[in-house]
Structure 1
Amino acid sequence: MARCSNGLLGVLNAGVLVLALVVLGGGVWLSHRAATTDCERFLERPVVALGVLLLALSLAGLAGALCGASCLLWLYLLALFLLILLLFVFTVFAFVVTNRGAGWVVSGRGYREYRLEDYSTWLQRRVENSGNWAKIRSCLQDGKVCEKLAAGHQTLGQFVNTNLSPVQSGCCKPPTGCNFTYESETVWNKPTGFNSTDDPDCTTWSNVQTALCYDCQSCKAGVLANLKNDWKKIATVNIIFLIFLIIVYSVGCCAFRNNRRDNSYPAWK
């Protein structure tokens, strides 16, 4: 019985080992790219950390299963339990903080617009932090999101029917309520005598292509709309991964119990 559970645990951990090597390889690739951007540096560390964690867990699980070492298996199961607990907490947290927020339909437009106050307070604080936003702003510029939009050379009629992404809608153009005059996708002229409006984004908007609406509330809301979609996908993947880890944990518990029983009665071997 112990051999069966140990063998199954070894097979499952071999799969985790392959996954760990893939994740770790991705992190190393990010860290050695020739033109490393702030976005890539931001992603690099958590990817490498996750890869190292999975690698250590898989090696401990393999060693415990193949050698039948109860002490090593106990440490492995403890670490695995903590990982399952952390993933569960993160998954619940991700669903809670992304529960609020949706784009507003604009009359006569093919795109939606986004408002920062529609999102959870926790997410709002993250993007309103000057240090965090400086990194995010750099990522948006590195990704040339608005440059790609401007390359379309559309007429106003074509533009208003375009299905813009949340970031394009929030960062690359002023809010529709500003009533600016369209010149191109990323060039909008303020009306004569314009001073200010109820929407501070109208004042923040600039035709300077490195500025645009990158510091607008609508841009931050657009980023949160993208983040919300990404976190929903990650949370869904986490659920699948959690189920897999729970199966591995259950098999590991069986292997640990059987190893202890066999070690307690050496004459039965």
Structure 2
Amino acid sequence: MALAGFVGAFWRIPWLLMAYLVGMLVLIILLACLVIFMYMVTIRGSGHIVPSRAYLEYHLEDFSIWLQRRVRGSYKWERIETCLSSTQICPDLNQTYTMAMDFFRAYLTPIEVNPPLYLLILN
């Protein structure tokens, strides 16, 4: 899209500039729709404070009904579980935190709380 705008402006090609402007308008509208969709799906989902834990806990029931059905009916959770079990993240956590309460009280980095995205994409 940017290349079309650059070429249209540099060589003064009006139809290419018009296509660039229309394309950018469409992309901006799609981005706004995505933001509104994400907000509507996750509007009720907020973390709950749990005693003796340093992190917030999230419950699927707090999110929209559509998202709940989508997550529960998805076949991808088995793939994610297989992916996570094949990495060293879980064994490393077991060696770092010998007792469950140590794990619950620890401040976890984002990589420990969430699986690496590149592992989920690869599988």
Normalising by structure 1, we get a TM-score of 0.36
Q: 1:116 to 1:79 in 2, by over 3 A?
A: same
Q: Hey, which bits of structure 1, 4+ residues long, moved more than 4 A?
A: 164-169
1:94 paired to 2:38: yes
Residues 126, 142 of structure 1: CA spacing in aligned structure 2 closer, same or farther, 3 A cutoff? farther
1:149 and 1:60 map into 2 onto residues whose CA distance is 49
Q: Which has the larger radius of gyration?
A: 1
Letter of the 2:26 partner, please give it: L
Q: Distance in 2 between matches of 1:76 and 1:113?
A: 44
Matched, 1:140 2:84: yes
User: Displacement of 1:117 after TM fit?
Assistant: 0.7
Higher relative contact order (CA 8 A, sep 6+): 1
The answer as to whether partners of 2:97 and 2:103 remain within 8 angstroms in 1 is: no
Distance in structure 1 (CA, Å) of the matches to 2:93 and 2:79: 21
Select the residue among 47, 68, 78 that pairs with 1:103.
47
Equivalent in the alignment of 2:4: 60
Change (3 A) 1:167 1:128: farther
Partners of 2:111 and 2:11 lie apart in 1 by 53
What amino acid is aligned across from residue 44 of structure 2 in structure 1? R
Residue aligning to 1:162: 106
Match of 1:104, SS state, is: coil
Aligned partner letter, 1:68: R
Q: Report the Cα offset of residue 101 of structure 1.
A: 1.6
**Residue 156 to residue 68, structure 1, CA distance change in 2 (3 Å):** closer
Equivalent-residue separation in structure 1 for 2:100 and 2:38 (angstroms): 38
5+ residue gaps, structure 2: 116-123
Structure with the higher strand share, 1 or 2 = 1
Corresponding position of 2:96: 152
What one-letter code is carried by the residue in structure 1 that aligns with 2:103?
A: F
Of the candidates 56, 61, 67, which is equivalent to residue 123 of structure 1? Answer: 67
TM-score (norm 2): 0.70
Deviations 1:179-210 (CA, angstroms, capped at 9, x unpaired): xxxxxxxxxxxxxxxxxxxxxxxxxxxxxxxx
Contact 2:45 2:62 in 1 (8 A): yes
Alpha-carbon contact 1:112-1:166 (below 8 Å) kept: no
**Following the alignment from structure 2 to structure 1, what is the Cα–Cα distance between the partners of residues 55 and 14?**
59
The offset of 1:154, in angstroms, is 2.7
Cα distance in structure 1, aligned partners of 2:9 and 2:76: 44
Counting matched residue pairs gives 115
Q: Percent identity?
A: 38
- Partner residue of 2:15 out of 71, 82, 85: 71
**Contact 2:60–2:68 (8 Å) recurs in 1:** yes
Q: Distance in 2 between matches of 1:112 and 1:167?
A: 15
Q: CA RMSD in A?
A: 3.0
